[in-house]
């Protein structure tokens, strides 16, 4: 344990006291309480003293401090016990339980809240939605159950007037996936009356009192989170109001002399109206149930029997108690329905583990104790018996069984007290049941006399009739006398029979079952029973409670228990005050001193040898991974000897007994240091296994893929060979053949094959073309590449004559003149060939359009004037021409761009046939020539062509006009428009 508490704070574990006496125990308890240390250990049992004030002991920082730690690594705390129970559940997959006990006002309810908060804080790190929902319901359920089941008493402002045991289900990850609440013996008599200075259940005040508004809102929010519908919440409020109005109803017997002499009536019938409205039942039926009851005669006849005023009051009170009890049970069942694990399949998800939290009523001793206190204190006796069996008796018996020498500790075994209460046929509850089932006038006094007859010689039983003493002279009742209680409770048997019968007339059950409120109706399923139906006698309240206690103890005994023993420091509920005499009584009847003696005389922990080796064998070279010694006991001895811990243990026949918790802490620390190394080794081996398995699978996959690829390649090549068997046949050379879809791996190969095939087929087609046509073919190919399919019609399907001005067909009147001019230019400029010639319509920078001729040779571009024997008007070196611009339509507009010269804007026309498409021919021959010279020629296709003339930027576009006889240009605002005669 970390040294966070100095000597001035006392011993953090009562086992460490120098002497085990009541004086030393109380001195240590008082010293720790004065220093704000409200928690102290007795081995693994936690002793808690209610501080009656808020202390800075809780919250996220404290939770982180205790999370994952061993019990003795931190100072005593509730969180340490909660963590120990949670780790035992998660590590060993064992069901555990935390039993919180102590008298009323000792802080049991607050302890259970802190335990629930710790469990909620350390679970669900992955933030799963379903787990978060369950956690919220678990936390909020406490608020709701406190509202309906807790009340203010003279000993406790928030006293639980019912017993609660909650099972929390966890999955294999250690996250809560559900839960179930068991409730025991609600003190429903509190609905009718309370002791002076006490209150009814909180729920009534939260509905009525404005001072309780914050608590009421907290309960409403909790019910919303849990899943109560608005209709159900409204029904709950109406039921509470109905109980209050029902309690105000009074009865009067009509005076003699009237017409209704001897009949019973309600003093204020408006209260009946309120009850009928709030319970959604007919007013006449409510009034009939209050004033009379229906009885079945020997046959099937029904008789209505009127009540006396006393009988009516009894029926009213029984109805009020029963309605509230059914309401409380319905709330618990509703919460359980929401908390039940959803979609859990043990075959798929594994078995759930459980942590149980028991918050049961505290031991109560009042000046007058009735049937409720008798049941509550019997419950505490039953739990004390379980504590004795698990902590004291079983421990000593185990030492004897294992052959461990030790000093026996005397303790009181209260089994005789429990047997006095629950023994069949002769026990107090059995005698009470017999009295309740006997026909005839059986009174509480007759019941007491029967008890005296059976138990007058019992050492732990006394009554006024048996032992008359001055202290008991004014008390009529009986009491079991347990020696471990310094002041034995005295019970008044008045009302025992009525409370044990717990009878309610069937008329009220049928009335509420037939309510139109579905929530109220669901609380009374037994109301559908016909009045003439014969049923078994229902079990009495005492028998039901005894059976539930037996089942509870069996449930707790099947789990690994952790104990929180709560002590109430004073009766005044005042902070920083410890009444030593009062605390002595609690220490005595809780058996804490005997617990310390057993722990000091015995051993803090014991484990079977195989389990001990399984957990700690990795810390010793002789036992890891498996030992070769003669037995597990010898292996454990070798392990402890290597750690130097053999002096703090004892060897039993089948178990190792460890005296000091320090030994366990040392072993756990050694194990914690080695676990990462072992985990790393296991991860390494497992990752290697996974890698080898993956490698084998990968090799198999690659083998399959390789053979499959081969198959697909062969199949594809075979299909190609079959498809292209006729590809060499002229004239198409496989033009119409369809290439099959290749596998992905052959796609690049097929792309190359297609390119090769296209080149081969082109070669086959081209090699048969005469040499005289090759220049035309090259020009067409150049035009196609330059226009890039942007101009659909460019004259590719006709023969290209190139020199149209020398053609008698195209220029019949002036072809001779042009031939003479061409001869002169050839002699002057020395060009080799005419690339293109045609008549054009041009527009200049002065916005004047004229007919001209265009001559393109391999050296120059000439603009000629046809009207003057084709006189040269402009000469541009061909290497100065940088590009051409054409449109995408059928018009013959061409813009010639040249470096250092104005752009030339012309339209090819006066062709034969008219408007023949020759733009593509001009582009092709010029592009082919430039390719031959190895210089670029930019060809642009646009319907709005920019150009430059004398440094000014202009645009030229085309406007189709059906009525236009000849192409011509129109100039406006620095732009040219070609008016093209459209067909």
For residue 253, the cross-strand partners are 264
On whether 231 is known to bind a ligand per the annotation, the reply is: no
* Mean pLDDT calculated for residue range 9-25: 85
Q: Where are the domains of the chain?
A: 726-761, 771-981
Per-residue confidence band for 154, with pLDDT thresholds at 50, 70 and 90? confident
Tokens at 949, concatenated: 């003339």
3-state DSSP call for residue 218? helix
pLDDT recorded at residue 363: 74
User: Rounded to the nearest 5 degrees, what angle is found at the Cα of 617, between the Cα atoms of 614 and 623?
Assistant: 120
Residue 404 pLDDT > 70: yes
On whether 744 is known to bind a ligand per the annotation, the reply is: no
pLDDT recorded at residue 544: 86
Per-residue confidence band for 721, with pLDDT thresholds at 50, 70 and 90? confident
More confident residue, 626 or 112: 112
On whether 816 is known to bind a ligand per the annotation, the reply is: no
pLDDT recorded at residue 63: 93
Per-residue confidence band for 475, with pLDDT thresholds at 50, 70 and 90? very low
Distance CA 709, CA 716 (A): 10
More confident residue, 327 or 614: 327
The 10s digit of each residue's pLDDT in 746-772 is 888 889 988 999 898 888 888 878 888
Residue 602 pLDDT > 70: no
Residue 482 pLDDT > 60: no
pLDDT recorded at residue 478: 46
Residue where the block lists tokens 């008007």: 873
Residue 722 pLDDT > 80: yes
On whether 54 is known to bind a ligand per the annotation, the reply is: no
Per-residue confidence band for 535, with pLDDT thresholds at 50, 70 and 90? low
pLDDT recorded at residue 693: 95
For residue 86, the cross-strand partners are none
The answer to which of 229-243, 456-470, 613-627 has the lowest mean pLDDT is: 456-470
pLDDT recorded at residue 469: 28
3-state DSSP call for residue 840? strand
pLDDT recorded at residue 487: 44
The 10s digit of each residue's pLDDT in 19-73 is 888 999 999 999 999 999 999 998 788 999 999 998 999 999 999 999 988 777 7
Per-residue confidence band for 483, with pLDDT thresholds at 50, 70 and 90? very low
Distance CA 922, CA 779 (A): 9
Residue 208 pLDDT > 90: no
Per-residue confidence band for 491, with pLDDT thresholds at 50, 70 and 90? confident
- Structural element, H or E, at residue 382: helix 371-387
Residue 468 pLDDT > 50: no
**What percent of the chain is predicted at pLDDT more than 90?**
36
More confident residue, 261 or 236: 236
CA within 13 Å, CB half, 842: 23
The 10s digit of each residue's pLDDT in 951-977 is 889 999 999 998 888 999 999 887 999
pLDDT recorded at residue 480: 46
Kind of pairing between the strands at 938-941 and 881-886 = parallel
Query: Peptide bond before 731: cis, by omega within 30 degrees of 0?
Result: yes
On whether 105 is known to bind a ligand per the annotation, the reply is: yes
pLDDT recorded at residue 3: 46
On whether 6 is known to bind a ligand per the annotation, the reply is: no
pLDDT recorded at residue 479: 43
pLDDT recorded at residue 814: 92
Distance CA 669, CA 835 (A): 100
Per-residue confidence band for 616, with pLDDT thresholds at 50, 70 and 90? confident
Tokens at 243, concatenated: 């109980």
Kind of pairing between the strands at 159-160 and 150-151 = antiparallel
**Cα separation values, 193 from 190, 317, 370, 626, Å:** 5, 10, 13, 69
pLDDT recorded at residue 256: 57
Chain mean position to CA 557: 33
The 10s digit of each residue's pLDDT in 665-702 is 788 788 888 888 888 988 999 999 999 999 999 999 99
The 10s digit of each residue's pLDDT in 778-803 is 898 899 999 988 888 888 888 898 99
**Cα separation values, 667 from 45, 432, 456, 663, Å:** 22, 56, 57, 6
Residue 10 pLDDT > 50: yes
User: Rounded to the nearest 5 degrees, what angle is found at the Cα of 967, between the Cα atoms of 962 and 969?
Assistant: 110
pLDDT recorded at residue 488: 61
pLDDT recorded at residue 450: 81
The 10s digit of each residue's pLDDT in 693-720 is 999 999 999 999 889 888 988 998 898 8
pLDDT recorded at residue 411: 63
pLDDT recorded at residue 400: 79
Residue 86 pLDDT > 80: yes
Tokens at 427, concatenated: 């026990």
Sequence-distant (6+) residues with CB within 8 A of 317 are 192, 247
* Mean pLDDT calculated for residue range 328-342: 91
* Mean pLDDT calculated for residue range 461-468: 59
Whether the model clears a pTM of 0.85, i.e. scores above it, the answer is no
- Fold category of 771-981 in CATH: PH-domain like (2.30.29)
Residue 139 pLDDT > 50: yes
Distance CA 895, CA 843 (A): 11
For residue 961, the cross-strand partners are 981
Mean pLDDT of the chain: 85
* Mean pLDDT calculated for residue range 271-288: 93
pLDDT recorded at residue 604: 63
Residue 7 pLDDT > 80: no
More confident residue, 445 or 194: 194
CB 105 within 8 A of CB 362: yes
On whether 104 is known to bind a ligand per the annotation, the reply is: yes
On whether 106 is known to bind a ligand per the annotation, the reply is: yes
Q: Is 674 exposed, middle or buried (0-12, 13-18, 19+ CB in 10 A)?
A: middle
């Amino acid at each position: 344990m970390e040294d966070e508490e100095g000597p001035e704070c006392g011993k953090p574990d009562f086992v460490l006291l120098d002497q085990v006496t009541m004086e030393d125990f109380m001195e240590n308890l008082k010293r720790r309480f004065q220093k704000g240390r409200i928690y102290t250990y007795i081995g693994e049992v936690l002793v808690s003293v209610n501080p009656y004030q808020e202390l800075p002991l809780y919250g996220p920082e404290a939770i982180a401090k205790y999370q994952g730690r061993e019990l003795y690594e931190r100072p005593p705390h509730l969180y340490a016990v909660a963590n120990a129970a949670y780790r035992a559940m998660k590590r060993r997959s064992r069901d555990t339980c935390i039993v919180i006990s102590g008298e009323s006002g000792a802080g049991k309810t607050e302890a259970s809240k802190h335990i629930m908060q710790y469990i909620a804080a350390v679970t669900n790190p992955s933030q799963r939605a379903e787990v978060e929902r369950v956690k919220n319901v678990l936390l909020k359920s406490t608020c709701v159950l406190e509202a309906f089941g807790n009340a203010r008493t003279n000993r406790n402002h928030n006293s639980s007037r019912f017993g609660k045991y909650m099972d929390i289900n966890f999955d294999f990850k250690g996250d809560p996936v559900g839960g179930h609440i068991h409730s025991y013996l609600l003190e429903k008599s509190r609905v009718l009356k309370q002791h002076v200075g006490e209150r009814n259940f909180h729920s009534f005040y939260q509905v009525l009192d404005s001072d309780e508004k914050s608590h009421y809102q907290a309960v409403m929010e909790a019910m919303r989170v849990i899943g109560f519908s608005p209709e159900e919440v409204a029904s709950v409020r109406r039921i509470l109001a109905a109980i209050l109005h029902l309690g105000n109803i009074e009865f009067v017997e009509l005076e003699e002399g009237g017409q209704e002499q001897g009949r019973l009536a309600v003093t204020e019938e408006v209260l009946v109206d309120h009850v009928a409205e709030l319970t959604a039942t007919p007013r006449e039926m409510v009034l009939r149930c209050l004033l009379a009851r229906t009885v079945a005669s020997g046959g099937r006849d029904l008789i209505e029997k009127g009540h006396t005023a006393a009988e009516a009051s009894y029926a009213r009170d029984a109805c009020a108690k029963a309605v509230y009890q059914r309401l409380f049970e319905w709330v618990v069942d509703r919460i359980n329905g929401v908390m039940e694990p959803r979609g859990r399949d043990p075959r798929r998800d594994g078995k759930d583990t459980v942590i149980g939290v028991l918050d049961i009523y505290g031991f109560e001793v009042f000046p007058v104790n009735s049937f409720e206190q008798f049941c509550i204190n019997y419950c505490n006796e039953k739990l004390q018996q379980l504590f004795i069996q698990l902590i004291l008796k079983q421990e000593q018996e185990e030492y004897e069984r294992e052959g461990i020498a030790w000093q026996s500790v005397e303790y009181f075994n209260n089994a005789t007290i429990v047997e006095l209460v629950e023994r069949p046929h002769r026990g107090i509850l059995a005698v009470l049941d017999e009295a309740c089932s006997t026909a005839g006038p059986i009174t509480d006094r007759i019941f007491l006399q029967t008890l005296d007859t059976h138990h007058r010689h019992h050492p732990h039983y006394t009554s006024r009739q048996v032992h008359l003493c001055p202290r008991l002279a004014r008390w009529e009742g009986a009491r079991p006398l347990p020696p471990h209680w310094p002041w034995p409770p005295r019970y008044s048997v008045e009302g025992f029979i009525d409370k044990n019968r717990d009878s309610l007339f069937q008329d009220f059950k049928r009335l509420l079952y037939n309510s139109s409120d579905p929530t109220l109706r669901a609380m009374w399923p037994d109301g559908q029973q016909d009045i003439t139906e014969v049923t078994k006698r229902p079990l009495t309240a005492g028998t039901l409670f005894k059976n539930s206690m037996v089942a509870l103890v069996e449930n707790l005994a099947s789990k690994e228990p952790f104990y929180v023993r709560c002590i109430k420091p004073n009766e005044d509920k005042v902070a920083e005050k410890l009444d030593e005499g009062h605390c002595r009584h609690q220490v005595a009847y809780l058996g804490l001193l005997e617990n310390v003696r057993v722990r000091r005389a015995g051993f803090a922990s014991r484990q079977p040898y195989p389990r001990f080796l399984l957990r700690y064998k990795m810390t010793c070279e002789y036992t890891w991974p498996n030992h070769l010694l003669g037995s597990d006991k010898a292996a454990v001895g070798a392990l402890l000897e290597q750690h130097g811990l053999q002096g703090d243990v004892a060897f039993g026949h089948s178990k190792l007994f460890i005296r000091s918790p320090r030994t366990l802490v040392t072993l756990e620390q050694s194990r914690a240091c080695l676990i990462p190394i072992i985990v790393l080794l296991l991860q390494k081996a497992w990752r290697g296994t996974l890698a080898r398995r993956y490698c084998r699978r990968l090799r198999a996959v690659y083998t399959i893929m390789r053979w499959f690829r081969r198959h697909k390649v062969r199949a594809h090549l075979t299909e190609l060979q079959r498809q292209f068997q006729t590809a060499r046949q002229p004239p198409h050379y496989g033009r119409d053949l369809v290439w099959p879809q290749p596998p992905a791996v052959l796609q690049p190969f097929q792309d190359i094959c297609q390119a090769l095939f296209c080149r081969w087929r082109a070669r086959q087609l081209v090699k048969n073309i005469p040499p005289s046509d090759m220049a035309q073919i090259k020009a067409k190919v150049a035009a196609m590449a330059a226009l890039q399919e942007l101009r659909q019609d460019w004259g590719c399907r006709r023969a290209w004559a190139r020199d149209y001005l020398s053609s008698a067909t195209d220029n019949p009147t002036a072809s001779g003149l042009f031939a003479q001019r061409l001869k002169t230019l050839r002699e002057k400029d020395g060009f080799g060939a005419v690339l293109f010639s045609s008549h054009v319509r041009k527009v200049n920078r002065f916005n004047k359009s004229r007919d001209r001729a265009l001559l393109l040779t391999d050296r120059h571009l000439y603009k000629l004037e046809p009207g003057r024997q084709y006189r040269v008007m402009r000469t541009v070196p061909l290497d100065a021409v940088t590009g051409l611009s054409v449109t995408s339509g059928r018009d013959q507009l061409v813009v010639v761009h040249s470096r250092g010269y104005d752009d030339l804007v012309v339209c090819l026309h006066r062709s034969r046939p008219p408007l023949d498409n020759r733009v593509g021919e001009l582009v092709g021959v010029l592009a082919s020539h430039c390719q031959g010279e190895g210089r670029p020629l930019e060809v642009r296709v646009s319907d709005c062509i920019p150009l430059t003339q004398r440094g000014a930027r202009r645009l030229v576009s085309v406007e189709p006009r059906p009525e236009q006889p000849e192409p011509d240009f129109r100039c406006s605002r620095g732009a040219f428009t070609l008016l093209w005669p459209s067909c």
